[in-house]
Structure 1
Amino acid sequence: MHTSIVGASNMGRGIAVHALAGQHAVRIFDTDNDKAGQLTTQFRDQVPGADISPTDDTAISTAG
């Protein structure tokens, strides 16, 4: 399953933890692109093989 998360702060982090634990692909969107990038880097360092990356506002327009 693919999970898109809007917001890279505490709640977004918590949702990402659970989604990654369930082996889901995770995309993080935040109005601050650097913040989304930093969060995904932290997860990649902590969870080897995690399918996580930052995304741009197309995640919002294509969510269904």
Structure 2
Amino acid sequence: MTDTKSRMLICSECYEPALLKSPREWTPAWGPLPPYSHWDGDPLCAVMTRDGYRSAEPKLVELP
């Protein structure tokens, strides 16, 4: 039997779908270009780190 569960990347802050694709707009002052974005091309939600605000990390979820 094979595992046929579907998985999806979501933003860990707003839970909207995410893509393994850099945001379409990014300012170098915000730090390194993140590899993930929301489906509409916007950066993932900003989160505070000790280095300042950074893009949230996505998480992989299983769909029912």
* Higher strand content, 1 or 2: 2
Q: Which has the larger radius of gyration?
A: 2
Query: What is the TM-score of this pair, normalised by structure 2?
Result: 0.21
Query: What is the TM-score of this pair, normalised by structure 1?
Result: 0.21
Higher normalized contact order (CA 8 Å, seq sep 6+, divided by chain length): 2
